[in-house]
Structure 1
Amino acid sequence: MERAPYAADPVNSRGREFPEQRDGTRGPRTEFQRDRDRIIHSIAFRRLRSKTQVFIAPDGDHYRTRLTHSLEVAQIGRVIARALGLDEDLTEALCLAHDIGHPPFGHAGEAALGHAMMQAGGYDHNAQGIRTLARIENPYCDRQGLNLTWETLEGMAKHNGPVGAPNWALAEIDRAFPLELGLWPSLEAQIAAIADDIAYDNHDIDDGLRAGFLELDDLLELDFVADQFRAVERRFPNASRDQHLRELVRTQIGRMVNDVIAQTQQAAAGYESADAVREAGKQIGGFSEGVAIEERRLKRFMYDRLYYHPEQIATAERARDVMARLYAAFSQDASLLPDAWLANLPSNDPQRSRHIADFIAGMTDRFAIDQYARIYGRIPEGLSNV
């Protein structure tokens, strides 16, 4: 499809924090393609395969992790971006990178790190993702971080909208490479955010049903979901219940995607540049009013029935305890850190505490459990509820 006038253009990128020389040996790629590839090849991205999405350290192979979720978000994001004439590579890069800052054990781990870091500026997974890719991961000989483009860092920082009060991690990056935090981001970033919503709204249903935490009859209390499910049953009367449920998820995703495309095409009409989108003072990419209302109802249902399920809450409490104990152990005895991390440990706070948090935030669920067992001499119980 022809590039829309409001699309981000890699030829006119605002550049990278550290200038780079091209020698032509790495292939003919746009700047946004390079960003996507750097994210995919990063260690931080690989670690997502063993980080919690909904269920902590799941025993089953069929449950989603942060990695599989990010891949699904990227697939949805590319479809929408292509239909809107946006830059698919920038959209994909933002989709793939959006969860890189999550610590082990998902939001439970984030809450524990946030509490532990209260005197050192707190913890925010979105800012930590940018810090990870711009400062912590250093694969290059001549520059810091992955050195992503301004557009990718901007999209990571603001995909949920303007940031009025950035925490310390985001503020540090913004001081070094200003990201115009008070403006809305590119339409590619807005689409990456809505693709995330579409993916987890529907795929978490799939995992919740599989785990037995959700019941179909409860889900069908939502009239718009019930309408879709009955239509699936009529279309495929001889299919199994499992096939019906999977078709329901696909149907819901398709319906949401089509709605975002139609609504955004209408809302974006008249914007002649990516900067015009940034300066619009409002969100342009998103659902129509009717589907937005349904989506909020679906989210409330998922919080009530899945995310705040008693077993989920109990498991999250145990995960928070593991994270708190890990932070306390490394803070009290820094020799427990790996040699490379110990060698670079600052002597004073808040930098010292932030360095320890960087190490813990990068852990996978399983590595955190292993570290706990190494330090405390026992494996924490009850950290897998599926």
Structure 2
Amino acid sequence: MNLNELFTNQRTGNHQPTFVSRTDFQRDFDRIIFSSAFRRLQNKTQVFPLPGSVFVHNRLTHSLEVASVGRSLGSLIGDFVSKNYKNDLNETSNNFYQYQLSDVIAAACLCHDIGNPAFGHSGEDAIASYFEQNEKDLKPLFNEKEWADLVNFEGNANAIRVLTHQQQGKDEGGTQLTFSTLASIAKYPCEAIAKQKGIIHRKKFGFFQNSKSTFLEIANATGMQRESDEPIIHKRHPFVWLVEAADDICYSIIDMEDAHRLGIVNSRDCEDLFIDLIKSVNPDDIKRVNDKLNIIKNPNERISYLRAKVINSLINKSISTYQANFDKIIDGTMDKALLDIFKQESSSLTEIERFSIEKIYNHKAVIEIENAGYNVMYELLDHFIPSIILEKSERKNYDKMALKLIPKQFVYEEGSVYDKVLGVLDFVSGMTDNYATDLYRKIKGIEIGMTV
């Protein structure tokens, strides 16, 4: 990869350049902040049920924190590239890495979860399972690649659609972000039919068939290496590793803090796990940490302080790992996430992960919301998809009534069955937890009455 060809200010849609005080990538960040899809993340579950007497993270607060960490990673790596590869950079590129890479990574982090449906990963599972369980009736309606999209429904691929797709009656290009920002969220730059466990950039998939041409534009404009033409497979863009690291850092650590505030994890266990991680990265810092803890007596404040120190430690570790593996990242041979490399060197993060699975992700409240969310999402799809796939002339009155609940921007009557189904998925996957639950209760007759 050529370091001068990894970024561009080209955007999706018919968008004319505008000369303003912000950079193109700062404008990306602002466009995401003001988008309705981003606002809806405030009522999408991260891990724990929403809301409660104790405020816990949702998808929106998680995304803001990931963007904060991502900005730090982008700034430090940008400085590294501009200093160590100065002779390889033209003037525009040197300016980009010094001053603008941090904006790209922050914007990408901000929208990395924007394609995730309500109720966390159980929402994704419900959508994929719906098609698996109705394969006999539905599969003949799609070609092989379209069917692979549906039975492997994935939030990462959906993010590209949410951010780039032109909905009915709306402007071309979706949110109209730069290709640089969009390339930075493409963790799995391949078609669904090419997904393969054990290969980091093919563990899942990165775009729906409907978005393939847009994705190829993004890949070509940002220098992504093509691994295969059929099926389409690319190597990861170098910026993806930073977005992934920021996300991994936050969800590995923040869930522990939430669990502590909810009383699921006690202070001693949480403190011990965090201190062990700090020791493994920066043992010289432990005396200062202990001195600070001797001053702080409030349990929540102690955990917040340690959380900040742990995140800082993991940022520094991610930076050193990225730098040490820079050649592999650039030539497309890197095969492990930055924090996975750290796990091989130290058991501290692995222990936090093990503890989280045992004490947090298998907690009754988390399991209950996952079960409830799965059923809500599945039933919503079952209400709309059997009706939308019918020809207009074949629809009964109850089909027509069901489809009246779908906003017009999600209805593609002139499109293929695949287009129509994706429209329903746009509607259902974009719902917040509360909206999905309310609609489910109404269509099932559990709650009848007028609400505005």
TM-score range, shorter chain: 0.7 to 0.9
1:172 match: 210
8 Å CA contact 1:81–1:88 kept in 2: the answer is yes
Q: Secondary structure at the match of 1:156?
A: coil
Matches within 5 A, 1:254-293: 254-268=312-326, 277-282=329-334, 286-287=338-339, 289=342, 293=347
Q: What are the Cα deviations for residues 252-277 of structure 1, in whole angstroms up to 9, with x where unaligned?
A: 11111111122323332xx5xxxx84
- Counterparts of 1:157-236 in structure 2 under 5 Å? 157-158=186-187, 161-163=200-202, 166=205, 169-178=207-216, 179=219, 180=226, 182-219=233-270, 222=273, 224-225=276-277, 232-236=289-293
| Counterpart in the other structure of 1:108 | 122
How far the C-alpha of 1:299 sits from its partner, in A, is: 1.8
What SS does the corresponding residue of 1:326 show, helix, strand or coil? Answer: helix
Q: How far off its partner does 1:293 sit?
A: 4.3
Instruction: Give 1:324 shift.
Output: 1.4
Among candidates 161, 164, 173, match of residue 131 of structure 1: 161
Matches of 1:89 and 1:176 in 2, distance apart? Answer: 22
Distance 2:292 2:429 in 1: 46
Match of 1:63 in 2: 56
Task: State yes or no: 1:35 paired with 2:28.
Answer: yes
Query: Which residue does the alignment assign to 2:364?
Result: 310
Q: Is the 8 A contact 1:264 1:286 kept in 2?
A: yes
- The residue type equivalent to 2:363 in the other structure is H
How far did 1:302 drift?
1.1
Given the alignment of the two structures, is residue 246 of structure 1 paired with residue 275 of structure 2, yes or no? no
Could you give the per-residue CA deviations for residues 25-46 of structure 1, whole angstroms, max 9, x where no partner exists?
A: xx14433233222222221111
Q: TM-score, normalised by structure 2?
A: 0.71
Partner amino acid, structure 1, of 2:16:
Q
Does 1:20 find its partner at 2:15? Answer: yes
Give the structure 2 partner of residue 384 of structure 1.
none
Counterpart Cα distance in 1 of 2:184 and 2:278: 35
Greater RCO, CA 8 A, separation 6+: 1
| Residue 200 of structure 2 is aligned to residue 148 of structure 1 | no
Of 41, 45, 53 in structure 2, the residue corresponding to residue 48 of structure 1 is 41
Q: Is the 8 A contact 1:82 1:88 kept in 2?
A: yes
Structure-1-length-normalised TM-score: 0.82
Per-residue CA distance 1:67-120 (angstroms, 9 max, x = gap): 110000010111121122240111011100100011111111111111113344
Distance 1:140 1:356 in 2: 17
Alignment check: 8 A CA contact 1:51 1:103 kept: yes
Percent identical pairs in the alignment equals 29
Q: Which runs of 5+ in 1 are unaligned?
A: 380-386
CA distance in structure 1 between the aligned counterparts of 2:319 and 2:410, rounded to whole angstroms: 49
Count the aligned residue pairs. Answer: 363
- Please tell me whether Structure 1 or Structure 2 has the larger radius of gyration of its CA atoms: 2
Is the Cα–Cα contact under 8 Å of residues 130 and 378 in structure 2 kept in the other structure?
yes
The CA deviation string for residues 107-157 of structure 1, in whole angstroms up to 9 with x for no partner, is 11111111113344221111011111111558964x232233332222222
Question: Partners of 1:357 and 1:82 in 2: how far apart?
Answer: 36
Q: Does 1:323 align with 2:318?
A: no
> Given residue 192 of structure 1, which amino acid in structure 2 is its aligned partner?
V
Change in CA separation of 1:312 and 1:7 when aligned onto 2, cut-off 3 Å: farther
Amino acid at match of 1:214: V
1:217–1:38: structure 2 CA closer, same or farther, 3 Å change rule?
A: same
**Are the structure 2 counterparts of residues 140 and 337 from structure 1 closer, same or farther at C-alpha, using a change threshold of 3 Å?**
closer
Alignment partners' CA distance in 2, 1:282 and 1:131: 27
Per mean C-alpha deviation after superposition, the further-off stretch among 104-113 and 14-23 is: 14-23
Distance 1:172 1:347 in 2: 11
RMSD: 3.2
CA–CA distance in 1 between the matches of 2:331 and 2:428?
38
One-letter amino acid matched to 2:123: G
Q: For the structure 1 residues 310 and 221, does the alpha-carbon distance in structure 2 shift closer, same or farther, using more than 3 Å as the test?
A: farther
Give unmatched runs, 5+ long, in structure 2: 79-96, 133-138, 140-146, 190-199, 220-225, 227-231, 387-398, 448-452
SS of corresponding position for 2:201: coil
Relative distance call for 1:61 and 1:166 in structure 2 (3 A) is: same
Distance 1:88 1:139, change over 3 A: farther
CA contact (8 A) 1:220 1:226 kept: no
| Cα 1:48–1:138 shift into 2, 3 Å | farther
* Distance in 2 separating the partners of 1:45 and 1:137: 16
